[in-house]
Amino acid sequence: MPAARTVLLTGAAGGLGTLMRELLPAYGYELRLLDVRPVEGAPDAITADLADLDALREAVRGVDAIIHLAGISLEAPFEKILKANIEGTYHLYEAARQEGVGRVVFASSNHAVGFTPRPEGDAPLPPESLIPVHTPRRPDTFYGLSKSFGEDLAQFYWDKHGLETVSVRIGSCFAEPTSVRMLSVWMSPADGARLFHAALTAQGVGHTVVYGSSANTRLWWDLTSARALGYEPQDDSEPYAEKLIAEQGELDPSDPAHNHLGGPFVTDPPIWPY
């Protein structure tokens, strides 16, 4: 375990933030929490909007690293995405730079490459068929576009200012996979915590892009760069396969919502409700 390190967790009231609040303290982190909404059960959490650079500067002051989860996590009109995810992530990096924070773990998304055709073939796919991290970005939504911007912003802050980032293109991090697509892209919460811990502790990451998923039998993408950080996924979605396929059927290779990495985001994305 590392010596207690203070980490700012943005988006702490959200689904992933709630999971990480439960799991990361066991790795020895002291979490400072931030969200625009109140964080249930955490009266000390900082309530701040990513639009507020001064509040972000105060929030990041003295932390060792930041896990940046806050933002719009589904599709939304461009103007909303611009404010929360593009300007908001810029404000977060600017606050980190001004306060001398050395590392960010950025919650990117598979939707930065969502229009990439999914690899064909029977699972498990051979390594050469897996989608590499350096595949050209092909956002499937304004949301995915904002994650693509976030990865570029991270690269820029590394090149220009020496601020390190691990950009994690998260697949689907929920308690259980709930669709046949998720059998390929699921990241168990426990593996999510393992990956964030690796991203916080690996030496000399510069700007590293990784996919975030468990060691799924039906994996579509290459976890080499994640493993190089020291990430050793322990879970596999396969025990859920029989039930999900019986309920939903196999993926249809002629359906655009089934034959791209981004799944339904390429045709009928879920919309941010607020």
Active-site residue list = 143
Does residue 210 interact with ligand NAI by CB under 6 A? no
Which of ligand 15L, ligand NAI, none does residue 269 bind (CB under 5 to 8 Å by kind)?
none
Tell which positions 19-78 bind ligand 15L, by CB under 6 A. 73-74
Nearest distance from C-beta of residue 73 to ligand 15L, angstroms: 4
C-alpha torsion sign, points 96, 50, 67, 32: positive
CB count within 10 Å of CB 195 equals 29
Which of ligand 15L, ligand NAI, none does residue 88 bind (CB under 5 to 8 Å by kind)?
ligand NAI
Q: Which of 165, 172, 184, 213 binds ligand NAI (CB under 6 A)?
A: 172
Q: Which of 46, 89, 104, 109 binds ligand NAI (CB under 6 A)?
A: 109
Taking CB under 6 A as the binding criterion, the range among 1-9, 10-18, 127-135, 157-165 that sits at the site for ligand NAI is: 10-18
Q: CA distances (Å), 162 to each of 18, 88, 97, 99, in order?
A: 30, 20, 9, 13
Token pair 């990513």 is at which residue?
50
38 or 127: CB nearest ligand NAI: 38
Which of ligand 15L, ligand NAI, none does residue 36 bind (CB under 5 to 8 Å by kind)?
ligand NAI
Q: Answer yes or no: are the C-beta atoms of 88 and 11 closer than 8 Å.
A: no
Does residue 109 interact with ligand 15L by CB under 6 A? yes
Taking CB under 6 A as the binding criterion, the range among 13-21, 130-138, 223-231, 262-270 that sits at the site for ligand NAI is: 13-21
Does residue 70 interact with ligand NAI by CB under 6 A? yes
Q: Which of 10, 85, 141, 172 binds ligand 15L (CB under 6 A)?
A: 172
Three-state SS string across the chain, please?
CCCCEEEEEECCCCHHHHHHHHHHHHHCEEEEEEECCCCCCCCCCEECCCCCHHHHHHHHCCCCEEEECCCCCCECCHHHHHHHHHHHHHHHHHHHHHHCCCEEEEEEEHHHHCCCECCCCCCCCCHHHCECCCCCCCCCCHHHHHHHHHHHHHHHHHHHHCCEEEEEEECECCCCCCCCCHHHHECCHHHHHHHHHHHHHCCCCCEEEEEECCCCCCCCECCHHHHHCCCCCCCCCHHHHHHHHHHHCCCCCCCCCCCECCHHHHCCCCECCC
Nearest distance from C-beta of residue 74 to ligand 15L, angstroms: 6
Q: Which of 10, 110, 116, 208 binds ligand 15L (CB under 6 A)?
A: 110
Q: Which of 7, 14, 24, 265 binds ligand NAI (CB under 6 A)?
A: 14
Does residue 141 interact with ligand 15L by CB under 6 A? no
Residues engaged in binding ligand NAI (CB under 6 A): 11, 13-17, 35-37, 49-50, 69-73, 84, 88, 107, 109, 170, 172-173
Positions in the binding site for ligand 15L (CB under 6 A): 73-74, 109-111, 172
